[in-house]
Amino acid sequence: MADSALQEMKTGWTKVLQALEAFGDMALFCGQVLATVPKKLPPGTFIPICYRVGVQSVPVVALTGLFIGMVLAVQAHAQFQALGLATQLGHIINVSVVRELGPVLAATMLAGRVGSAIAAELGTMKVTEQIDALTCLGMDPIHYLALPRFLACVLLIPTLTILANFMGVIGGSLICTWIYHIDPYHYWQNARGHISLWDLTTGLIKPLFFGGAIALIACQRGFHSRAGAEGVGKAATSAFVLSFISILVLDFFLGLFLNNLHRFLWPSFTVRAFGPE
């Protein structure tokens, strides 16, 4: 009995140590990538990655945004109609899309599309010794491989979020005005008065962090991929899972921080989604 309890404690302690080690590895890797940011980008690396991260993600992000807006309209319409507030739908759809759903769901899609691809690509390079070959040819693999991917994600994921937000607003308006026959004039009149510059700003600050987290996690998973097809597969899966969790955690803490920042900067205004009326 005492032996099994001791064994369980040992197993638990080993798991804690492994978690701490993994956290330390991640922190060290993030530090190494951020230390390369002031350096000049390796020639010929940035544009192809921007194309893959940005241009090739446009259709999937546009579709995601469009359907977020459409689903919101369908779900909210019945409740708002019952209260006689159907013309207010534009307000709730647009605020929800711009402040929360657009950034979070676009980042989630990109964690799946871009993050997994980065982890799989770097993982394959690791197991086929291409990363070692880069080192032997006098390159710093973190500078050569991770920095362009990090910068591409940080710069382009907010840009793609703008697209997702735009498509979400369009999707919501299409359903409300075409399917539910809400008068477009009243729909847009109510919608436009309720999105502040602060809403737009917070909706774009968050994706900067989401983009950074997706790139750092994906690169770290790729660089630490284990050998074989299974190792690369696990690297890609864990890149997505960790990125998704990071997006949700970051969203919560950034939401709290930005709301408090708003209260601090403009005490006389309230933040609608979380603040008191």
Partner 1 sequence: MSGDKPWLRLEKVSLTLAGHRVLHNISLDIPRGQTLAIIGESGCGKTVLLKTLIALMQPSEGKVLFDGRDMNDLPPDLLQKQRLRIGFLFQGAALFDSMTVFENIAFGLAAHGRHSEEEIRARVAQRLQEVGLNSAVLEKKPAELSGGMRKRIGLARALILNPEVMLYDEPTTGLDPIMTDVINQLILQTRKAHPVTSIVVTHEMKTVHRVADRVVLLHPLARLKSLEPQILFDGTPAELEACPDERVGQFIRGEARERLIELAMQENGES
Size of the site for partner 1 (CB under 8 A): 14
Site membership for partner 1, residue 79 (CB under 8 A): no
| 42, 112, 233, 255: which one binds partner 1 (CB under 8 A) | 42
Shortest distance (Å) from residue 45 CB to partner 1? 10
Kindly report the number of other CB atoms within 10 A of residue 8's CB atom.
10
**Calpha distance 187→176 (Å, rounded):** 8
Cβ proximity of 215 and 149 under 8 Å? yes
Kindly state the helix (H) or strand (E) to which residue 244 belongs, with its residue range. helix 228-265
Site membership for partner 1, residue 139 (CB under 8 A): yes
Shortest distance (Å) from residue 126 CB to partner 1? 11
Site membership for partner 1, residue 251 (CB under 8 A): no
**Calpha distance 214→225 (Å, rounded):** 16
Site membership for partner 1, residue 21 (CB under 8 A): no
Kindly report the number of other CB atoms within 10 A of residue 74's CB atom.
14
| 37, 133, 256, 273: which one binds partner 1 (CB under 8 A) | 133
Using CA of residue 95, residue 98, residue 104, residue 105, what is the dihedral sign?
A: positive
| 1, 5, 83, 136: which one binds partner 1 (CB under 8 A) | 136
**Calpha distance 65→46 (Å, rounded):** 26
Site membership for partner 1, residue 11 (CB under 8 A): no
Site membership for partner 1, residue 38 (CB under 8 A): no
Residues found near partner 1 in the complex (CB under 8 A): 42-43, 128-130, 132-140
